[in-house]
Amino acid sequence: MSLKTLSEFNWSVMTPEFIILGVIALLTLLDLFLPKRVDRRILGWLSIAGIVAAIIALASLLGTEPTSILYDTFTLDMFGKAFKLLLLAGAGLVMFLAVSYDAKDGMEEYRGEFYYLFLTALLGAMFMTSSGDLITLFIGLELLSISSYVLAGIKKHNLQSNESAMKYVINGGISTAITLFGMSYVYGLTGSTNLAEIANKLSAVVDGQQAYLLGIAFLLIFVGLSFKLASAPFHMWAPDVYQGAPTPVTAFLSVVSKTAGFVIVIRILISVFYNAAPSGDGSSILFKMHDYLAFLAAATMIIGNVVALKQTNIKRMFAYSSIAHAGYLLVALTTLSANLIFSVWFYLLAYMLMNLGAFAVIQVVTEKTGSAKIADFAGLYRRSPVLAVTMGILLVSLAGFPGTAGFIGKLNIFVGAFYGEPHYVLASIMIAATVVSYFYYFGVMTQMFFRPARDESKFNLPFGIIVVLIVAVVGSVLFGVAPNIALDFLNKL
């Protein structure tokens, strides 16, 4: 391999990352030198401008051929472009929530730090989508994780926030160690950290002892990443972190961080282990671990939906809802259908829209009432019909009713369960779990439409909240009625 100088690399494929990096540096300096009397929300608007610029830069790269630089450690391909666009769109909507967030709980002092820590986490997630090497994947993962730990505990003087951050750090540190241990086995078996080289070498592994080590590596990596996905039984940190973190951070963890988690799962498990046939019979290690993946998917759907039924705090309920949705996505990974990438991408798109819209409503209500109890949504229709109807549409989409993006997302995964070898049990559990979810989603709607309001005061909706709600509702309905728009978009990448 001949060495290249820095000027010989096609750096233009990293333009979106360079833009986000530049905005991070700018915000850090501005927060440091601006007088304290200056409202730090201006940094949030600069962050939104930077994200929009990154989306424009990425759009200009959509027609380019797959390109690798830095000796295949960074790859801009269809997968990277599709998921990067998802991350940037989700990050932009979360930033609109952040600039509208009324920090009465001690976060105002650290509002400036919030914006550039958030962009740092986004940068790590973007690197993960384009990583072609275990090292850059791990660096992106840690950039995302460490920033997320700080964001979860940014309400420094709030004990609940401190508790959530501590649990998140401990669980995250353990999961990172397990993941890295699994990666070390892969490196030991192949002598390479490049994903393409690893896949090529593992396809020729036929020794029984090496196959045993490969199985251990797969389990370690998947278990470590399961913490990031908040899939059962590695989900126990999620409810406390969702409840204790500021609402914009909770929205970020539920959408952007989860998307990044599935990105790294697909990058490693699909691109590497799918081609690994250690017994020499052509059967992939993923198919040999099928029962384990199916068990985790089923357990995640069941536990997430059943435990959500008993929640009285809306953020904890959405935490268990998030766990359940991770289970639906794991069904797609278990079945390994022909449209796996599209099914996962579309579901994450739908989940981003409906979940961020719901958190926008939650943020407005919790700021008004000072509480995150589901009972505080009582009579919302009388106080703000628009807000209640909007939340109703998003809850219906989360439940998976026809005519919404949530329904199409579930339908893609359900149909994929019958690809190749049919997974009747897993498909049945998915249907049953979805039916169970109706009870707690409709429980919130019952409070909004059929319970008397405790307080008749009206809501003032900030501009950022209005933007998120419009995008969420229009997107949820549009992709539910015309899902081919998303498919046509992916085909053009």
How confident is the model at residue 174, as a pLDDT? 92
Low-confidence stretches of the chain (pLDDT < 50) are: none
pTM greater than 0.85: yes
The domain segmentation of the chain, as residue ranges, is: 9-281, 289-493
pLDDT at residue 109 in the model: 63
pLDDT tens-digit series, residues 323-375: 999 999 999 988 888 788 999 999 999 999 999 999 999 999 998 888 889 99
For residue 376, give both structure tokens.
């505080």
